[in-house]
Structure 1
Amino acid sequence: NVFEAAYNDSKLDDDRAQKLNERGDELKKGAMKLIQELTVSDQFANEEVKSSYGYLSGYKSKPIVEQMKVLRELFPELGSVDEKLAEADLPSNAEGWFAIPRWEKIASTYGEAVQKVLDLIKQTRDDKFYNYREGKLGSQYLRQHAKTAKMFQIFGDEQKDHDILVVPAQFGLNHRGKSVRRAREVMNASEFGLGAFAIGIMILTHPERLQHYDDLWIDCAGDEYAPGAGGGFSRAPCFCFRGGRVRFGTLGIGRPGGYCGSASGFVPQS
């Protein structure tokens, strides 16, 4: 195979071969990075800009136990979670394990579940919240991206006895500067965009993620939005911080911005 051929062509002596074996973990990580670089699609490659934005307000992922304290207060009707899942090794590129309820346990439709989460963000931030899409979150406007819906179905099947799912994720840094559709394009088979419901939950459990204008804003690549409610799902929701408050709106999926990054989840590979 190609790796064996590269090894043979390197013509390493015994000492250098031993050094390589001792650094096997580094070799593995380097090979994985190279594979990812060589297999990334070039579709929408011009929809990337340089970005220096990050987690200015000091966000770090919290233990599942701490997240659950918040969710229990906000959603006392919710059932169990398998906290032991968060003891496993994180998938590559994930920042932490996140507790995300099944949206079906919150409301009868996805849009209603998103609205409930937005209402709670407003409530927990003393009304310092603005929704540019107020009253326009029905199914004719908002829907989950097909890949995201499929991935959450996998999590739901694997954690079938629990109302709250444990999901490895990252909060936007990995895809900063990319348009939503470029971010979707470069995600591998096990990575998927998170939508407004999941990201809204993560903001509730990690309020420090959006506290400042220069915090990286969050694209919801796991959702699709049709501004005219006519079937043209050309936009995606986003969360930003401006004027001292969190704001919820939408952006075109082909519009890159250095101030934005798509949050994503990962299905752990066995």
Structure 2
Amino acid sequence: MNAITQQTATTGQIKQINRFGSDAIEKVLGELGLDNPGAQRVIEHGDEFAEAVRTAALASLKDLSVSDKFKDEEVDSKYGYLSGYTKPKGITEQTQILSQIFPGVGNALEKLAERAVPANAEGWFAIPKWQTIAPTYSEAVQKVLDAIKKSRNGKFYNYRDSQINEERLRQTAKTASVFQKLGNEQKDHDILVVAAQFGIRHRGRSVRRAREVFVTNEFGLGAFAIGIMILTHAERLQHYDDLWIDCAGDEFDDPGSGVRFDRAPCFRWSDGEVKFDTDWYGIASGNYGSASGFVPQE
């Protein structure tokens, strides 16, 4: 479901869930048969009781509210940010890096990064509108891949060389819609300020499972955005045991597949270099995690 059109829970739904909770506590109290001294002790430890209920309710709500679709496409993963990345650099530093790589690219509305970081995001990233880099999305992706190769002194390999074109690579409808919205909101600036996470939130999940469990304001990032993030944060991908990155915001069409656009791009590290490839979107691997962005909620 599109993050722009997906609605938050209604007042009626919230009231019904509240009623389930209060009814459950009332039932437990009836079954337990607390005596007067016992009830008083609970009251005296009211804060602890409330926290225990909150913790249990939070765990249950998280579990029950997530779709079961593709739930078998998750595996345990201990991979993380081994090479030193912890959170994004400041927006000013990121835009300075980008202006050196892509001369002529404009600026960003930097004050947006002063806002609170949305839940589940690691911070604010500077991501140019792809239209400022090239006439088509696939050409913009290719320019970013070329820039990564140059920044790594040639230590880069593209398994899809000569296959990055408009017929084979596209943004998902959801991701394209979100970036259009962000572009309209930040219309006088070439570089967008985007809240995002670099993959660890969805490590061990297949791309389509990650897409399925995105929260209301979350969307997948594609090869262009993630490539930009790698350019501004080279420390994110420098070791074989770094968490590799799935591009859940893109779709790739492999002519050899029986299903159109059933692959997604990915970045990984092996043999001392960054590598770009595509994989089937139903593969769950502990080595990978889908990077995603978040639309700030009012």
Structure 2-normalised TM-score? Answer: 0.83
Q: What number of residue pairs does the alignment pair up?
A: 267
The C-alpha deviation readout for 1:22-71, integer Å capped at 9, x for no partner, is x7xx94x8756643321111111111111111111111221112211211
Cα distance per residue 1:170-204 (max 9 Å; x no partner): 00001111111011001122111100000000000
Q: Does 1:91 pair with 2:118?
A: yes
Given the superposition, is the C-alpha separation of residues 161 and 135 from structure 1 closer, same or farther in structure 2, using an over 3 Å criterion?
same
SS in 2 for 1:150: helix
What is the aligned counterpart of 1:127 among 154, 172, 179?
154
Q: Residues 67-114 of structure 1: CA distance to partner in whole angstroms, max 9, x if unpaired?
A: 112111112211121111111111111011100000011000000000
The verdict on how the C-alpha distance between 1:236 and 1:87 changes in structure 2, with shifts beyond 3 A counting, is: same
1:233 equivalent in alignment to 2:248 = no
Shift of 1:243: 0.2
The one of 251, 261, 280 aligned to 1:252: 280
Matched, 1:263 2:291: yes
Conserved? CA contact 1:239–1:247, under 8 Å: yes
Matches within 5 A, 1:190-229: 190-228=217-255
Question: Structure 2 residue aligned with 1:139, among 143, 148, 166?
Answer: 166
CA contact (8 A) 1:140 1:229 kept: no
- Of 168, 184, 208 in structure 1, the residue corresponding to residue 211 of structure 2 is 184
User: What does residue 46 of structure 1 align with?
Assistant: 72
Q: Give the aligned residue type for 2:68.
A: D
AA at the equivalent of 1:69: Q
2:35 alignment counterpart: none
Amino acid at match of 1:249: D
Q: Which residue matches 1:149? A: 176
Residues 156 and 31 of structure 1, relative CA distance in 2, 3 Å threshold:
farther
Distance change >3 Å, CA 36–CA 199, structure 1 → 2: same
Q: C-alpha separation between the residues in 2 aligned to 1:173 and 1:160?
A: 30
- Which amino acid in the other structure matches residue 255 of structure 1? I
**Structure 1 unaligned regions, length at least 5:** none
Q: Which has the larger radius of gyration?
A: 2
8 Å Cα contact 2:95/2:107 also seen in 1: no
CA contact (8 A) 1:145 1:223 kept: yes
Letter in 2 for 1:179: S
User: What amino acid sits opposite 1:183 in the alignment?
Assistant: A
Match of 2:101 in 1: 74
Identity %: 57
What is the CA–CA distance in structure 1 between the aligned matches of 2:232 and 2:58, rounded to whole Å?
Answer: 32
Measured in 1, the distance between the counterparts of 2:93 and 2:288 equals 27
For residues 225-265 of structure 1, the C-alpha deviation after alignment (integer angstroms, 9 at most, x for no partner) is: 01218971111000000000000000000111110000000
CA contact (8 A) 1:192 1:266 kept: yes
Corresponding residue of 2:145: 118
Q: How far does residue 154 in structure 1 lie from its aligned partner after superposition?
A: 1.5
Deviations 1:147-175 (A, max 9, x none): 10011111112111111100110000011
1:60 corresponds to: 86
Matches of 1:33 and 1:238, distance apart in 2: 31
1:224, distance to aligned residue in structure 2 (A): 0.2
Residue 6 of structure 1, aligned match among 2, 5, 21: 21
Residue segments in structure 2 that go unaligned for 5+ positions in a row: 1-14, 30-38
Asked if structure 1 preserves the Cα contact closer than 8 Å seen for 2:220 and 2:247, the reply is yes
Deviates more, 1:202-211 or 1:81-90: 81-90
Secondary structure at 2:176 match in 1: helix
